Amino acid sequence: MIQLIKYPNPILKQTAQPWNFANKVHAEQVQQEMLTLMRLHNGIGLSGNQVGILLRVFVMRTQDGREFGCFNPSIIAGQDTVVGNEGCLSFPDLWLDVNRCHKITAMYLDSNAQERIIELEGIDARCFQHELDHLNGICYTDSMSPLKLAMAKKKLFKKKRKV
């Protein structure tokens, strides 16, 4: 069974390799295990890096409740960049403001290797971009200046001490 990997594990900074549907790893099984783990941790997205799989796969749940896996995902187009608050299962309770496209058109393969094109906006677009960043070895903390990140971590530390 897969497990959630948390910062500072170095796998979070590694680039995932393309998913090969011809290999012995069964896409549907990996997708289901990742969705189960995502639900267990009350997340809306989870990337391969976050579970120790250095392959280009992530799962997500949209605001209308659809859950699916994205294999070898990419963004075709994006527009309307906005700042929004994000969290990450690998950085528990750390919420940061991140600049991302509000609307995207994306492409991915589903667990049956069928190409899908999807239009996402708001939190769904933000989630897709966040998980795609993970596959590229980029964490949402990388978008912060060291000073802003240190302040956010200090605020989190103080909050946890009060509990």
In this prediction, residue 57 has a pLDDT band, given cuts at 50, 70 and 90, of very high
Using a pLDDT cut of 90, give the percent of the chain over it: 83
> Cβ distance 126 to 106 under 8 Å?
no
Tell me which fold the domain 10-162 belongs to: Peptide Deformylase (3.90.45)
Please say if the pLDDT value at position 163 is more than 60: no
pLDDT exceeds 70 at position 87: yes
pLDDT tens readout for residues 90-143: 999 999 999 999 999 999 999 999 999 999 999 999 999 999 999 999 999 998
The span from the CA of 163 to the CA of 31, in Å, is: 35
pTM: 0.93
Q: Where are the beta strands (DSSP E) in 110-150?
A: 115-121
Is residue 86 part of the annotated active site? The answer reads no
Choose, from 28, 67, 119, 131, the residue flagged as catalytic: 131
**Residue-averaged pLDDT of the chain:** 93
Give the three-state DSSP class for 156: helix
In the DSSP assignment, the letter for residue 53 is: -
